[in-house]
Amino acid sequence: MDIVRSSFGKNAKGEETTLFRISSESGMRVCVTDQGATLVAVWAPDRDGIFEDVLLGYEQALSYDRNRGHLGAVVGRNANRIGGARFLLGDQEIVLAQNDRGNNLHSGPDFWENRLWGAEEFPEEGSVRFTLHSPDGDQGFPGNADVSVTYTLTPDNVLRITYRGVSDKKTVFNMTNHSYFNLAGQDAGSILDHELQLFASGFTPAGPLSIPTGEVMPVEGTPMDFRTPHRIGERIGADFEELKYAGGYDHNWIIDGEAGTMRPAAVLYDPKSGRKMTVSTDLPAVQFYTGNMVHATGKGGQEYTARAGLCLETQYVPNVLNFERSDMARPVFEAGSVYTAVTEFRFSAE
């Protein structure tokens, strides 16, 4: 493995940032930056061995500092939405900022993606590890927390993301990566012809504000059933209330199998290029988002519009901190206990 660093320009605070390029002997390349511990590029081969960047993104740190769509971003301490921007942590009510129609989204508005992280390279392992100290009260969450995100590129074309966190107080850790993929290439336009399989028998309805209530609905007989592969555009406009609320897919699926063990979550395939991406994780759920609100100018001046890319964000079930049910894993960790989570993206072609 080879790791090369280069300047990625200054961020909005005037800090110098760095881009790290990890390359494997197969020719696959991954680029990450200490600006937000962000995933910037993924170069993967098609069926003819031609490499394309399959990740929506930008060419400089300053653009990631103004990244309204969270392209490539690491999200923490808590990914996704918390209803009413508040929840109980034991006997303590935790109140967060209301940055999404009265709710909290991605722990903002003081996002981790707008911070410069520490960085350490591990060339023998094909890894770059980013670290961040999140002080007590940061974003409203209790505890001095030290977190890390490690990106590893393996010789067999697997991009592994490993999350770790520990705090001196009971707190929440629910981190994810908000990358938008287009397996035809970041400048190829719509992902509606991609085929998706989700290893999930149920999803969590979210209503008009995209806040799950704790209900789990079987996918059978609905346009949310991806247990066998379906073209993404096939049913996205179906007469189904949840799709109308979100303007497409922007929902959480409960991954089949035992949370805490590595298992397949999704397979994404682009018939045009033959590229396939298999997503595996030890987390309980995955948010599938078809980029319904995307509008940005990205790499090479490419105009990203709605459905130019899609997200598969592995995480705990959104708003689970407010559920009365006790049969779902909660992202709550006692003082001194270590939070870890792993998600892998395996790239192949056929």
Tens digit of each residue's pLDDT (9 = 90 or more) over 83-96: 999 999 999 999 99
The torsion region of residue 271 among left (phi > 0), alpha (psi -120 to 50) and beta comes to alpha
Q: What is the pLDDT averaged over residues 21-35?
A: 97
Tens digit of each residue's pLDDT (9 = 90 or more) over 269-311: 999 999 999 999 999 999 999 999 999 999 999 999 999 999 9
8 A C-beta contact, residue 200 and residue 264 = no
pLDDT at 259 over 90: yes
Tens digit of each residue's pLDDT (9 = 90 or more) over 205-222: 999 999 999 999 999 999
Percent residues over pLDDT 70 in the chain: 100
Buried b (16+ CB within 10 A) or exposed e, 59-82: bbbbbbbebebbbbbbbbbbbbbb
What is the reported pLDDT for 1? Answer: 81
Query: pTM for the complete prediction?
Result: 0.98
Q: Which residues pair with 181 in a beta bridge?
A: 55, 310
Q: Which residues pair with 82 in a beta bridge?
A: 104
Alpha carbon of 85 to those of 78, 179, 263: distances in Å? 11, 24, 31
8 A C-beta contact, residue 94 and residue 105 = no
Q: What is the pLDDT averaged over residues 107-133?
A: 97
pLDDT at 326 over 90: no
In this prediction, residue 67 has a pLDDT band, given cuts at 50, 70 and 90, of confident
What is the reported pLDDT for 23? Answer: 97
Q: What is the pLDDT averaged over residues 242-256?
A: 98
Tens digit of each residue's pLDDT (9 = 90 or more) over 138-170: 999 999 999 999 999 999 999 999 999 999 999
Q: Report the distance separating Cα 313 and Cα 321, nearest Å.
A: 18
| Averaged pLDDT score across all residues of the chain | 97
What is the reported pLDDT for 66? Answer: 87
Q: Report the distance separating Cα 85 and Cα 94, nearest Å.
A: 8
What is the reported pLDDT for 97? Answer: 98
Closest to 196 measured CA to CA, from 227, 220, 160 = 227
What is the reported pLDDT for 68? Answer: 87
With helix as H, strand as E and coil as C, how does the chain read?
CEEEEEEEEECCCCCEEEEEEEECCCCCEEEEECECCEEEEEEEECCCCCEEECECCCCCHHHHHCCCCCCCCEECCECCEEHHHEEEECCEEEECCCCECCEEECCCCCCHHHCECEEEEEHHHCEEEEEEEECCCHHHCCCCEEEEEEEEECCCCEEEEEEEEEECCCEECECEECCCECCCCCCCCCCCCCEEEECEEEEECCCCCCCCCCCCEECCCCCCCCCCCEEHHHCCCCCCHHHHHHCCCEEEEEECCCCCCCEEEEEEECCCCCEEEEEEECCCEEEEECCCCCCEECHHHCEECCCCCEEEEEECCCCHHHCCCCCCCCCEECCCCEEEEEEEEEEEEC
* Residue 276 C-alpha from the chain's centroid: 18
Residues annotated as catalytic are: 178, 313
What is the reported pLDDT for 320? Answer: 98
In the chain the first and final C-alpha atoms are separated, in Å, by 25
Q: Please, what are the domains in the chain?
A: 2-349 (2.70.98.10)
In this prediction, residue 240 has a pLDDT band, given cuts at 50, 70 and 90, of very high
